[in-house]
Amino acid sequence: MPGVGQAEGVSDERVVALWRDGGAVVVPADEPVLSAFDLGLVRGDGVFETVAVTGGGTPHLDAHLARLERSARLMELADPGRGAWQALVDALLARWSTPVEGAMRLLLTRGLGVGLPTTALGVLSPVPAETVRQRTEGIAVVTLGLGVPADFRSTAPWLLGGAKTLSYAVNMAALRHAAVHGADDVIFTSLEGQILEGPTSTVVWSADGVLHTPPPETGILPGTTMARLFARAAEAGRPTAVTPGTVDDLQAADAVWLVSGVRAAATVHTLDGVPRGDAGLSAGVRGLLAR
Amino acid sequence: MPGVGQAEGVSDERVVALWRDGGAVVVPADEPVLSAFDLGLVRGDGVFETVAVTGGGTPHLDAHLARLERSARLMELADPGRGAWQALVDALLARWSTPVEGAMRLLLTRGLGVGLPTTALGVLSPVPAETVRQRTEGIAVVTLGLGVPADFRSTAPWLLGGAKTLSYAVNMAALRHAAVHGADDVIFTSLEGQILEGPTSTVVWSADGVLHTPPPETGILPGTTMARLFARAAEAGRPTAVTPGTVDDLQAADAVWLVSGVRAAATVHTLDGVPRGDAGLSAGVRGLLAR
């Protein structure tokens, strides 16, 4: 299993880099960097990506930068471009001296106002021990309704389906709600009970030898780690499918995972209070992701 | 009409105050104040209020502080308490020397992590000329669906209905969508077409001599300015009602307003492209708010 145990090394190292005057500038991690008027703060008006740092590098950066650009387009945010993001990433990695796994966040906000420059920055900190525990031991998940029909967001661009925005208050509230009910994570469902996504992950399940994930037309984020898993599964001759599924489908599946960049494939061992197995499939899925 | 024209005085004065070590500290407005790791930025994980500043004071502060406390409870955020907010407000007003109208934002974020102190701050800046124009000249509004049934959010606390959070990306996207369609503002509707609220305002309409507003059980914010308007209308012997309404009801109404603290009652002169009047009622409504 990649990286397990690494993040348990003690480190409170944190790095912050700002895009300023056409260059990446590393600043002390404890130093305030954002104006109180920045719309990223006062309106959650921005987009972000969380990128896994392993072995001192960001092996899957390109997919995240592509999605960041897509989110920025959906939000009509001026993107400083690949060169700027690469410079921020390089600046963060150059100061990252610990051997532990890291989680790098790249953020782009609307800045001080429409027509003014956007704010671009990156931060890097160790992967929390709890994340590593969930990757190793699996997770208990509850399903929670978003209240929106599965086909609604594709017709309502103002709902920002498919954009990874800084407005994650509902995602965080859902995780608090799960914790109160003894669960680690959440799968959101549509009004009619279709599976959508986790607050910070993509749902993948295995049934009859096929890996399934819900359709992006539901307004969910296109998962970069799910896409990598499916590409490698296809290379390995393993069938994959984009499938509208229900909670019943998940309960009947051979295995269910919440897939994301830093936690990778977390095995769902309990769904809505019902214990479930993984039919021994998790090792193979993690193996595909580790290639 | 209160304050019209005042904000057209030129001012770029801005004031920022932070709650730090048990006291309110004014800092230079151009100085960064927020950590790149603050969850208010990276997760939109916080709450806020926007408070009108007129005549150098905040005449309606109490209702905003009560709602801020309510939002914080719904978000399980530790609130520094009335004394802290009052100290921040006093510090901002003490540095506010221009005679123009101001918009004061009070913000509370989850800070650097669960279990660590929350971040409380306030900012004060002049009311934008465009806001004053809309108050004076009225607004064109389009209705946009949120996709959620009107009764859904009251059963789904993780959707944070009734909490004024920093996660306003969808609200801002809706306003951009309106602008593309030649409109100034938006009224969100439920899946079945019930009127909900504006992205930054409460919907009020007049029909048969009664002022109406939608029920808070739909998950909309309880409007502080709407509440004041309704209280004063009741004092003046004018009937008010909490009414589930549709877009057809608005089209048939004698007048429609979007009501909020800084813009007060903005008359809707065009709804979904259809011009409409106010039956001469706007002056009376503004008179009630100006008392």
Return the number of other C-beta atoms located less than 10 Å from residue A237's C-beta. Answer: 6
Q: What is the pLDDT of residue A97?
A: 83
pLDDT of B4 strictly over 60:
no
Candidates A106, A112, A101; CA nearest to A87 is A106
Q: Please judge whether A169 and B160 are an interchain contact, meaning their C-beta atoms are less than 8 angstroms apart.
A: yes
A32-89: pLDDT as tens digits: 999 999 999 999 999 999 999 999 999 999 999 999 999 999 999 999 999 999 999 9
Candidates A55, A34, A57, A58; CA nearest to A46 is A34
Q: Which chain B positions have a beta carbon within 8 Å of A173's beta carbon?
A: 75, 157-160
**Residues 56-95 in A contacting B (C-alpha not used; CB under 8 Å):** 75-76
> Is the CB of residue A261 less than 8 Å from the CB of residue A242?
no
State the nearest Cα–Cα gap between A59 and chain B, in angstroms.
23
Query: Stretch B148-174: mean pLDDT, rounded?
Result: 98
Return the number of other C-beta atoms located less than 10 Å from residue B116's C-beta. Answer: 11
> Is the CB of residue B38 less than 8 Å from the CB of residue B164?
no
> Is the CB of residue B207 less than 8 Å from the CB of residue B252?
yes
**Residues 19-38 in B contacting A (C-alpha not used; CB under 8 Å):** 29-38
β strands within chain A, DSSP E: 15-20, 23-27, 46-53, 102-109, 119-126, 139-145, 185-189, 202-207, 210-213, 240-242, 255-260, 264-271, 274-275
Return the number of other C-beta atoms located less than 10 Å from residue A48's C-beta. Answer: 24
Helix (H, G, I), strand (E, B) or coil at A160: coil
pLDDT of A1 strictly over 60:
no
Q: Please judge whether B41 and A41 are an interchain contact, meaning their C-beta atoms are less than 8 angstroms apart.
A: yes
Q: What is the pLDDT of residue B98?
A: 76
* Dist. CA B253–CA B214, nearest whole Å: 14
A212-262: pLDDT as tens digits: 999 999 999 999 999 999 999 999 999 999 999 999 999 999 999 999 999
Q: Looking up tokens 């305002």, which residue turns up?
A: B201
Nearest-CB residue to B36 (from A34, A43, A169): A34
B266-280: pLDDT as tens digits: 999 999 999 999 999
Q: Give the length of chain B.
A: 291
Report residue B65's pLDDT band, with 50, 70 and 90 as the boundaries: very high
> Searching chain A, which residue's CA lies closest to the CA of residue B33?
A32
Q: How many CA atoms lie within 13 A of B237 on its CB side?
A: 0
* Dist. CA B183–CA B228, nearest whole Å: 27
> Is the CB of residue B230 less than 8 Å from the CB of residue B203?
no
Candidates A102, A16, A117; CA nearest to A55 is A102
ipTM for this model: 0.94
Question: How big is chain B by its Cα radius of gyration, in Å?
Answer: 19
pLDDT of B8 strictly over 70:
no
Q: Which chain A positions have a beta carbon within 8 Å of B149's beta carbon?
A: 147, 191
Tokens of A283: 């090792």
A193-206: pLDDT as tens digits: 999 999 999 999 99
How much of chain A, in percent, has pLDDT values that exceed 70? Answer: 96
Assess A270–B contact: CB distance below 8 Å, yes or no: no
Q: What is the pLDDT of residue A2?
A: 31
B13-57: pLDDT as tens digits: 999 999 999 999 999 999 999 999 999 999 999 999 999 999 999
Nearest-CB residue to A170 (from B32, B146, B160): B160
> Searching chain A, which residue's CA lies closest to the CA of residue B105?
A42
pLDDT of B196 strictly over 50:
yes
Q: How many CA atoms lie within 13 A of B291 on its CB side?
A: 15
> Is the CB of residue A111 less than 8 Å from the CB of residue A117?
yes
Q: What is the pLDDT of residue B6?
A: 36
Q: Which chain A positions have a beta carbon within 8 Å of B36's beta carbon?
A: 16, 29, 33-34, 107, 121, 123
Q: Please judge whether B36 and A169 are an interchain contact, meaning their C-beta atoms are less than 8 angstroms apart.
A: no
Assess A152–B contact: CB distance below 8 Å, yes or no: yes
| DSSP result, A12-37 | ---EEEEEETTEEEEE-TTS--B-TT
* Dist. CA A188–CA A104, nearest whole Å: 25
State the nearest Cα–Cα gap between A50 and chain B, in angstroms.
10
DSSP-H helix ranges across chain B: 39-42, 61-74, 82-94, 129-137, 169-180, 224-235, 247-252, 282-290
pLDDT of B12 strictly over 90:
no
Tokens of B182: 């030649």
pLDDT of B10 strictly over 60:
no
Determine the distance from the C-alpha atom of residue A262 to the mean position of all C-alpha atoms in its chain, rounded to a whole number. Answer: 8
> Is the CB of residue B50 less than 8 Å from the CB of residue B122?
no
Report residue A115's pLDDT band, with 50, 70 and 90 as the boundaries: confident
* Chain A interface disruption, residue of B38, B42, B153, most A CBs within 10 A: B42
Q: What is the pLDDT of residue A98?
A: 76
Assess B49–A contact: CB distance below 8 Å, yes or no: no
Q: What is the pLDDT of residue B9?
A: 46
Query: Stretch B126-151: mean pLDDT, rounded?
Result: 97
CB pairs below 8 Å between A and B: how many?
184
pLDDT of B2 strictly over 90:
no
Q: Please judge whether A169 and B40 are an interchain contact, meaning their C-beta atoms are less than 8 angstroms apart.
A: no
**Residues 115-144 in B contacting A (C-alpha not used; CB under 8 Å):** 121, 123, 125, 144
β-strands B255-260, B240-242 pairing:
unpaired
Return the number of other C-beta atoms located less than 10 Å from residue A74's C-beta. Answer: 17
Q: Looking up tokens 């809707």, which residue turns up?
A: B268
Helix (H, G, I), strand (E, B) or coil at B104: strand
* Chain B interface disruption, residue of A13, A16, A41, most B CBs within 10 A: A41
Q: How deeply is A236 buried, as exposed, middle or buried, from its count of CB atoms within 10 A (0-12, 13-18, 19+)? A: exposed
Return the number of other C-beta atoms located less than 10 Å from residue A193's C-beta. Answer: 13
CA distances to A110, A113, B202, B268 from B29, rounded to whole Å, are: 18, 15, 30, 35
* Dist. CA B181–CA B69, nearest whole Å: 36
Tokens of B81: 């308490």
Candidates A37, A201, A169; CA nearest to B31 is A37
pLDDT of B7 strictly over 60:
no
* Dist. CA A277–CA A268, nearest whole Å: 8
Report residue A291's pLDDT band, with 50, 70 and 90 as the boundaries: confident
Q: Please judge whether A170 and B152 are an interchain contact, meaning their C-beta atoms are less than 8 angstroms apart.
A: no
pLDDT of A4 strictly over 70:
no
